[in-house]
Amino acid sequence: MAKLAFLGLGVMGYPMAGHLAAAGHSVCVYNRTGAKADAWAAEHGGTAATTPREAAAGAEFVMACVGNDDDLRSVCLGDDGAFAGMTSGATFVDHTTVSAAVTAELHEAAKVAGLHFVDAPISGGQAGAENGQLSIMCGGEQSAYDAAEPVMAVYAKLCRRIGASGAGQMTKMCNQIAIAGLVQGLSEALHFADKAGLDGAAVVEVISQGAAGSWQMSNRSGTMLEDHFDHGFAVDWMRKDLGICLKTADENGASLPVTALVDQFYKDVQKMGGGRWDTSSLFKRLREFG
C-alpha cells in the first residue's frame, strides 16, 4: 500500500479519497476549508493537513481535484504548495478539469522539481465518484502513468493513457463537447414531445432502445420531465469547461458551432438563477423560453 495525499475534497474528491483509504492506502488530505478535511479524516481514519505542502510531504502520489486553473496553481506552487513538499521522483496526479496551458506549465514545473506529472481529468459525475466508477483520461509519460494507474484504479471503471502531457485534458474537452450537444438534443426532443401532446416518458421508452439512446437519455430524461435539476454536474462548472473548450478551439482551429451555441444556452440558465442546477436544465430553459 502507498503513502498518498489528496488535495481538494469537493463532491468528487471527498469520495475518491475515501476509496483510497478503504483500499488500505495511507492518505493525508488537504482542503481549503479545513473543517472538511478534519471531517474526512474522522470518517475515514486518515490524517488532515493545513497546507498542500504538509499533505504532500513523503507521499509517493499526490492526487488533486480542485476547481480551476488558479486553484490548481495554488495547491501546486509556492512555499506552501505540494511541489515544495514532494520528494524527488514522486508523482502528482491532477484530476481537475483545467486548460491545457496550465497543464503544460505545471508539467514543466514538476519536471524542474524532479517530479512526475499526470493530467487525469475524470468523467462520471458525483455518482461515479461515490461508486468508484469514474472514467479517467490521462496524459503524461508512460512510466508515470504506469506507476499511478493501480492507485487510480481504486475509483475507476476505466483508466487510459491517451498520450503525452495535456492529452488527458484535451480528451476531457472532447467529452464535454459531446455532452453539450447530447443534452441539448435530448432537451429539444422532450420539448417537441411536450408541444406535440405526447407522453414524454413513453416516447423515451421507445426511442431509447434505438439509435437515439444515450447515457443522458437513460439517466436524466426522467428527472428532466419531473422538473428536477438539483443533482449531478452544475451548469456553472459546465460553462467553465466549455469556456476552456472554446478557447482551445480558437487556438487549434477547431470549429465548434454547436458547442458555442449551447454555451450561450447555459448562460441563459445562469440568468434564470440555475447556475447550480444540473446540466440537464437546458430542458427547463426550453420550457421557459420555448
Longest CA–CA span in the chain (Å) reads: 65
- The alpha helices in 153-234, defined as continuous H runs, are 167-195, 200-207, 215-225
Find where cell 503513502 sits: 3
Cα end-to-end span (Å), the chain = 55
Residues labelled catalytic: 172
Q: Which amino acid is at 139?
A: G
Query: CA-CA distance, 189 to 203, in Å (whole number)?
Result: 9
**CB–CB of 235/266 below 8 Å?**
yes
> Using the 8-state DSSP alphabet, how is residue 117 labeled?
E
Query: CA-CA distance, 99 to 252, in Å (whole number)?
Result: 13
